[in-house]
Structure 1
Amino acid sequence: MSDRPTTDRTSPPTVLMFPDPARDSVNPYQSLLAGALREAGSTVRGVSLRRLRRGSVLHVHWPEMPLHDPDTGRMLKRFGRLAAQVLLARVRGVPVVWTVHNLRAHDGARPGLQKLLWATFPRLVDGWISLSRTGVAAARAEFPALRRARSIVVHHGDYHSVTTRPDRAAARRDLDLDTPGPVLAMVGRVKPYKGVEELVRAFAELPDPDARLVVAGGCEDPGLRGRLEAAAAADPRFRPVLRRVPQEQLDAVLAAADLVVLPFASVFNSGSLLLCLSAGRRVLAPRTDVFAETAAEVGEAWLRLFDGPLGAGTLRAALAEPPATGAPDLHDHDWSRIAAEHRGFYAELAAARSR
């Protein structure tokens, strides 16, 4: 097993991804990876049974995704299809790679099938990718079967190619945030585990009448949505945008913000953090292993960490810090480097399979 970045060697000609990187997705991570691999010379396609043959590699992201389908019949069909694809890859000598984005499905959907998935799938992978150094030990502890598979650390890619930096004053006007006070924001899918209610409570304790809080992202939990809408009715400074937000509007929210707060109660990896840093926004986040690893890269001028519960005092202290200048150093998150590391790992696994 190896946790060291590999160099780019002859790569299998076809990378078959699950889910299909061409699908419509809130998070463009997969499409950015596919684009970088294609630029490096790989063919990237969605997986199908007929495409699984020697000379290809099956790269799985989010194997739990079928379990989120609310239609039980369709969910079982999707879940069974993925199982058949992984098993056929094993039979045909096609390397199976897993990028470990999460240790569990966040919403706990269909616990019986989740138990089956996590008991079997990690045993079927030839190699796996961690998006952080701290994630390696956590993944091996959660899935002991991964200890026998090859592994590599490849950082989460940046979002420079999909973000813009609108004028701050214009963004505030467009969002009806034309205020002399500070603007705080939280972006990304709005889920209970992300600590959004803790943020809303801390913000409510800020006495500044000119302060604003924007929470922008889809919210599929009706109970959480109702509580946030009630909080907005009680405090008009709080502006929830609880729907899927197009990238240009996310860019405007980030441009308008003095500080982005990501108070996740539980986090293994965070695309939202990379989005904010790619947009040149300061971030406040709890002191977790993965956030601490990123803070060591970019510096606490860009990623300020807090300990304990989030309160108004923590928000005030972060807002009082002088603004960061320039841009955070995200060279380890460059997609051309990431593509080369993926291609080298694919080639290592293919060579091992052929032996």
Structure 2
Amino acid sequence: MPVVLLPHPPNGNIYIRELGRAYAALGWTPIYGAENLLEGNLRPDLLHLHWPEEFYRWRGEGSLTARAEHFLMRLHALRETGVRMIWTVHNLAPHDVADASVDAQVYRAVIDSVDAIHHHCNCSIQALADRYAIPAALPRFVRPHGHYFSYPNDVGREAARCELGIPLDARVFLQFGQIRGYKGLGLLLKAFDGLELPRKFLLVAGLYNPPTGPGAWRERARLAWRKRTDKRLLVHGRAIDSDRIQVYMNAADCVVLSHTAGLNSGVAVLGMSFGRSVIGPRLGCIGETLGEENNFTYPAGDVAALKDAMLAAAQSPNLPARGESNRRICESWQWTAIAAAALDAAELSG
């Protein structure tokens, strides 16, 4: 069987596991792990990259520049042996990085190395082209982010709220996923505070990455104080196990994203997969993924607009129906569609 190398951990981001299973369904053997790329452990038939920064920012020895150079050397070595390469664009640059000069060089080199680029939405094509020089002859294709139906989903709304200690009659907004600077938790808290809605409740769940830098201690202290004193706020600032995601999703009336930067959001697709309506910014692929029929979008970074979107969602008479429509839409977002399109673009589908 032909081999596809997905040089990322399958147990870190479920995206990689699901895509690997899709390749397997098409008759390919998926191999995982950054070490198989960085150490040159095998020569695959296809290399499918996702987050370039993983190979020099998240691991390795030596300086950042040395690690980046080693990663690009391994790409060049595989390229020289005729390995076909695909890159899925998740970000235009790593999140929350003060100096992205090395990343810009790496991203440009990745673009020059791959045989095709996969985007999750149409606006991603232009966003990447606005930032980097894209060869005119380089194939590009669009396939939506795959659904998240593989997560367990058998805990009902009442049981989920009882477990979390949330009143059954509360209007619950959920922010889910890693709590990082660009996710805009401060923006969301301001919008929530200004929201005039009886029985409002904000649930925040995900690994907390505390802010750093001058004055960051004040933000950490404010959040710690609110966690202890605000009965309308519940923060679980830790990684959520995969079998527990359903508890948070099913306790919520809707999912809210408050990103101030970024291109894609797996949480938007996660909320839709769980049959929830999603509030999100018109930012990159997020707005294009959500659309306006079942979800509520607003200009990124606008506190008043976010507050209005939250109020519109809470007052919507058909919010559950919107969420169910989202779930049906996700049924067409198949992982095998991404794998099949990647093989076609790499001229390996024969």
- TM-score with structure 2 setting the length: 0.85
Distance in 2 (CA, whole Å) between partners of 1:162 and 1:64 is 27
Distance in 2 (CA, whole Å) between partners of 1:143 and 1:281 is 35
Name the SS of the counterpart of 1:41 in structure 2.
Answer: coil
**1:327 to partner: Cα distance:** 3.6
Pair 1:111-2:106 in alignment: no
| Alpha-carbon RMSD | 2.5
Q: Which residue of 2 aligns with 1:8?
A: none
Greater displacement, 329-338 / 170-179: 329-338
Distance in 1 (CA, whole Å) between partners of 2:31 and 2:70 is 16
Distance in 1 (CA, whole Å) between partners of 2:140 and 2:269 is 23
Distance in 1 (CA, whole Å) between partners of 2:104 and 2:286 is 28
Letter in 2 for 1:64: E
Q: Which residue of 2 aligns with 1:175?
A: 164
Distance in 2 (CA, whole Å) between partners of 1:147 and 1:141 is 13
Pair 1:310-2:303 in alignment: yes
Count, aligned residues: 331
Against the structure 1 CA distance between its residues 35 and 225, is the aligned structure 2 distance closer, same or farther, given a 3 Å change threshold?
Answer: farther
Pair 1:51-2:47 in alignment: no
**1:285 to partner: Cα distance:** 1.0
Distance in 1 (CA, whole Å) between partners of 2:189 and 2:98 is 26
Name the SS of the counterpart of 1:51 in structure 2.
Answer: coil
Q: Which residue of 2 aligns with 1:246?
A: 241
Is the contact made by 1:52 and 1:88 (CA closer than 8 Å) also made in structure 2? no
Greater displacement, 157-166 / 323-332: 323-332
Distance in 2 (CA, whole Å) between partners of 1:272 and 1:137 is 23
**1:180 to partner: Cα distance:** 1.7
Greater displacement, 157-166 / 266-275: 157-166
Pair 1:218-2:214 in alignment: no
1:11-22 to structure 2, matched below 5 A, reads 13-19=2-8, 21-22=9-10
**1:232 to partner: Cα distance:** 2.4
Against the structure 1 CA distance between its residues 74 and 173, is the aligned structure 2 distance closer, same or farther, given a 3 Å change threshold?
Answer: farther
Q: Which residue of 1 aligns with 2:132?
A: 143
The one-character-per-residue Cα deviations of 1:83-123 (angstroms, maximum 9, x if unpaired) are 23201111111112111110000121653432431342322
Is the contact made by 2:72 and 2:109 (CA closer than 8 Å) also made in structure 1? no
Name the SS of the counterpart of 1:83 in structure 2.
Answer: helix
Distance in 1 (CA, whole Å) between partners of 2:164 and 2:66 is 42
Letter in 1 for 2:303: L
The one-character-per-residue Cα deviations of 1:315-338 (angstroms, maximum 9, x if unpaired) are 222200122323421244112333
Name the SS of the counterpart of 2:87 in structure 1.
Answer: strand
**1:267 to partner: Cα distance:** 2.7
Q: Which residue of 1 aligns with 2:117?
A: 128
Unaligned runs of 5+ in 2: none
The one-character-per-residue Cα deviations of 1:110-165 (angstroms, maximum 9, x if unpaired) are 53432431342322222111111111111122121343422111211000112414
Name the SS of the counterpart of 1:137 in structure 2.
Answer: helix
Greater displacement, 39-48 / 205-214: 205-214
Q: Which residue of 2 aligns with 1:319?
A: 314
Q: Which residue of 2 aligns with 1:28?
A: 14
Query: Could you say which structure has the greater relative contact order, defined with CA pairs below 8 angstroms and 6 or more residues apart?
Result: 1
Against the structure 1 CA distance between its residues 304 and 313, is the aligned structure 2 distance closer, same or farther, given a 3 Å change threshold?
Answer: closer
Distance in 2 (CA, whole Å) between partners of 1:84 and 1:114 is 15
1:28-107 to structure 2, matched below 5 A, reads 28-46=14-32, 47-48=36-37, 49-52=40-43, 56-69=45-58, 73=62, 79-107=68-96
Against the structure 1 CA distance between its residues 236 and 67, is the aligned structure 2 distance closer, same or farther, given a 3 Å change threshold?
Answer: farther
Distance in 2 (CA, whole Å) between partners of 1:102 and 1:271 is 12
Name the SS of the counterpart of 1:84 in structure 2.
Answer: helix
Q: Which residue of 1 aligns with 2:270?
A: 275
Name the SS of the counterpart of 1:236 in structure 2.
Answer: coil
Residue of structure 1 aligned with 2:286, choices 255, 266, 291? 291
Letter in 2 for 1:300: E
- TM-score with structure 1 setting the length: 0.84
Unaligned runs of 5+ in 1: 1-11
**1:207 to partner: Cα distance:** 4.8
Share of identical aligned residues, percent? 27
Q: Which residue of 2 aligns with 1:334?
A: 334
**1:306 to partner: Cα distance:** 2.1
Greater displacement, 333-342 / 243-252: 333-342
Pair 1:343-2:338 in alignment: no
The one-character-per-residue Cα deviations of 1:46-90 (angstroms, maximum 9, x if unpaired) are 33424126xx11111100123433876386775454223201111
Against the structure 1 CA distance between its residues 256 and 163, is the aligned structure 2 distance closer, same or farther, given a 3 Å change threshold?
Answer: same
Q: Which residue of 2 aligns with 1:255?
A: 250
